[in-house]
Structure 1
Amino acid sequence: MENSTAIPEEAPRATSHEMVFALLFAISFSHLLNDTIQALIPSIYPILKKDYALSFTQLGLITFAFQLTASLLQPVVGLVTDRRPMPYSLPVGMGMTLVGLIALAYAGSFHSILISAALVGGGSAIFHPEASRIAHMAAGRRRGFAQSLFQVGGNAGTAVGPLLAAWIIVPHGQKSLVVFSAIALLGVLVLWQIGKWQGSNLHRIHRKPKSAGVSSVSPVSRNRVVLAMTVLVVLVFSKYVYLSSLTSYYTFYLIDRFHISVQSAQMHLFLLLFAVAVGTIVGGPVGDRIGRKRVIWGSILGVAPFSLALPHVNLLTTGILSVFIGLILASAFSAILVYAQELLPGKVGMVAGLFFGLAFGIAGIGSAVLGKVADIHGINFVFQICAFLPLLGLATVLLPDVETEK
């Protein structure tokens, strides 16, 4: 990656309020590579279930192992790097993902699969807080757009994962996962170049001196910050438990209810996740324009009519509704993240780590619990009860209005 393709390092202080598009596209592309690898794990669940005679509970525990390491480490990584920036932690995290991927390709037991998934989760824990910080550094004044562009890379990777699994892993088996180590190696190279830019532009994350105090003071009272953060946690719970039911078990639901093939179910999952990617890129700019709170309102509560109808319709309508669900629900996270960063200015890494960690942790626990429910009551029952989760979006009414200078 050359300077001519413009990850610029020169005259950074003169442009500290301007958006660095090249850097945003580079970190979004890295997010695509990272999340493509992550998406391969749930995408190969049908193969693992068959080859190792796994239950839905065991599949849920694989997701839990992956998400647990990610959720526990991310806030810690964010807090540490807020105090002491580590520009080259990103390629290290991708290297851990590479090791986990190769280990998963050659795993021969349920326990070795768990360990491999945990390694991939550890790499993700290092990647997300620092990558989100870089999106913030390169955002200029358009923070919502920057976070959406960063997020859409990850969502695109999550959407591509099932397609790659259907084309490569389903026909050739678990060991074909090793082919995707090339993606991780490319990620290491790109992130090394991004680390160079970050090391030369650390002032972008501290635009005002500490003595000014302005950048570290919340625009609302402490009690309202606590209330708002609690509401945001509830909203993240609603979004990610429901999303976990889709990403982990949507293929099984389609196969069980409509008796379609694994490849066909993977294609349906791709359409859902592609819709998530499109919805993500819309949420940030809209939040910049009309306010984060309005986007949060519409994104989570607006999914409810579609989620409630989903378990009761035919295959074609299921596909259509899932696209609408992905489009609407996806716009929430960028708005929630930037809203929280505005509530707690000066703590960009900690907030990013906290909410990425919450997202991963809640999704992991949700997946494990839903897997157990599916074993007892069936996969259709899981989708019937999860349909009510978006109604928790009503809690958005308790959020204070937070606006920062544009």
Structure 2
Amino acid sequence: MVKMNKKALGLLSAAHFVTDLNQGALPALLPFFKEALNLSYTTAGAILLSANLTSSIIQPVFGHLSDRKPIGWLLPLAPLIACLGISASGFIPHYFLLLACIIASGIGIAIFHPEGFKTAYFFTGEKKATGMSIFAVGGNLGIALGPIWALILVTSLGLRGTLGMIVPGILIGGVLLFNLSEITSPVETAHKEAKKEERKPLTKDQKWTFFLLVTVATVRAWIQFGMATYIPFYYINYLKGNPLYAGKLVSTFLISGAAGTLIGAPLADRWGHKKFLHITLLLSFPFLLLFYYSSGFISFILLGIAGMVLISSFALTTVMGQATLPQHLGIASGMMVGFTMSAGGIGVTILGVIADAWGVPMAMKTILILPLIAFGISLMVKYPLKLKGER
């Protein structure tokens, strides 16, 4: 039995945390960019679109390159690039230059995810979902703490406080560089062995199952980023509330999701991957609905439960995608994580159009129905697949 390497997963998880800290910070910074540059909701949403569109295109490309040749040397560089783009964003007085900074950060995020998830796969051992959850929770925590960290910086130091985002990027880059040979050696070994094997074309079932998994994960990401973006808009711009209060709500949602990733993965390994996916998508709907119509402390509890249930399948869907395309781990990782998160973020731009036309509350209500759509799609997933030549 192959044992789980918790040290390697911990290092990769820390890098994942720093990389996605920037992804989490961006939605919380949008109201400040909106005010500083006098933007509409649609143009503010386009800032997120620029990062996610860039990322959605680049991540599958890097996934494909990773399947052809190991590119583990990029792992220390990627978090640094991601942090550099966001740290510079608070100093930019022009909209298009701001987009350039956000795109640069998106490129750093895009470089990290395919190689990071592919590398983590080789350290997960027998319990794939459980092992992958250790790596995935770093990203979930980064996205969760990104809003509160960004809001602390800009409320304390002004918009130029974003410069503080560069510090974790420098630190983790150095740590990964020091441990690079240990982290990348299993990938290089597997790549050499894979060269000796004949790659078989994908079956129709593989293509259809993978497409459905990508779609489910995209809708889930749309919910996640929609909540992270429109809770601040709802409480800061619509209700004229405290920015830090809004940041605490977003972080409650996402930190609970990170906890759900760790708690849910062992349950998924025990109950069955597909069954667990169905349960979590279906249960997300009532808790999000109850949160919207609640107030005070109970809203934190309901939002926390909603985040825990919804995001608990994050590592799971990645493992399902990798199991569906076992000979294409790089592109499977790039699509299941990078593309779906980025494409989900693109959905936030649609919410911006809705908010401009019918108001922020309507955008929030749109988010509420998305779990039911994802659940309906997941019912069509055929998993696990019996692959030819499988032992």
State whether TM-score is above 0.5. yes
Task: Tell me which moved more, 18-27 or 247-256.
Answer: 247-256
Residue segments in structure 1 that go unaligned for 5+ positions in a row: 1-14
C-alpha separation between the residues in 2 aligned to 1:68 and 1:346?
26
Q: Which residue of 1 aligns with 2:23?
A: 38
Structure 1 residue 204, shift from structure 2 partner: 5.6
C-alpha separation between the residues in 2 aligned to 1:323 and 1:217?
44
Residue identity matched to 1:399: V
Counting aligned pairs with the same residue, the percent is 27
Distance 1:84 1:382, change over 3 A: same
1:49 has 2:34 as partner:
yes
Q: Which residue of 1 aligns with 2:323?
A: 342
The alignment's C-alpha RMSD in Å is 2.3
Tell me, what secondary structure is at the counterpart of 2:75? helix
Task: Tell me which moved more, 79-88 or 395-404.
Answer: 395-404
Residue segments in structure 2 that go unaligned for 5+ positions in a row: none
8 Å contact 1:302–1:328 — kept in the other structure? yes
C-alpha separation between the residues in 1 aligned to 2:143 and 2:150?
11
Q: Which residue of 2 aligns with 1:353?
A: 334
Residue identity matched to 1:373: I
1:2-401 correspondence to structure 2 within 5 Å: 17-202=2-187, 205=190, 222-255=203-236, 258-392=239-373, 393-401=375-383
Tell me, what secondary structure is at the counterpart of 1:44? helix
Residue identity matched to 2:314: F
Tell me, what secondary structure is at the counterpart of 1:398? coil
C-alpha separation between the residues in 2 aligned to 1:292 and 1:41?
32
Structure 1 residue 291, shift from structure 2 partner: 1.7
C-alpha separation between the residues in 2 aligned to 1:132 and 1:188?
17
C-alpha separation between the residues in 1 aligned to 2:232 and 2:200?
46
- With normalisation by structure 1, the TM-score equals 0.88
Tell me, what secondary structure is at the counterpart of 2:39? coil
Tell me, what secondary structure is at the counterpart of 1:182? helix
Structure 1 residue 166, shift from structure 2 partner: 2.9
CA distances 1:206-243 after superposition (whole Å, capped 9, x unpaired): 59666666xx669xx82222321232133123212211
C-alpha separation between the residues in 1 aligned to 2:309 and 2:217?
14
8 Å contact 2:88–2:162 — kept in the other structure? no
C-alpha separation between the residues in 2 aligned to 1:272 and 1:288?
24
8 Å contact 1:94–1:127 — kept in the other structure? yes
8 Å contact 1:283–1:334 — kept in the other structure? no
Residue identity matched to 1:173: G
8 Å contact 2:32–2:159 — kept in the other structure? yes
Task: Tell me which moved more, 199-208 or 245-254.
Answer: 199-208
Distance 1:337 1:59, change over 3 A: same
Structure 1 residue 20, shift from structure 2 partner: 1.0
8 Å contact 1:299–1:328 — kept in the other structure? yes
Residue identity matched to 1:223: K
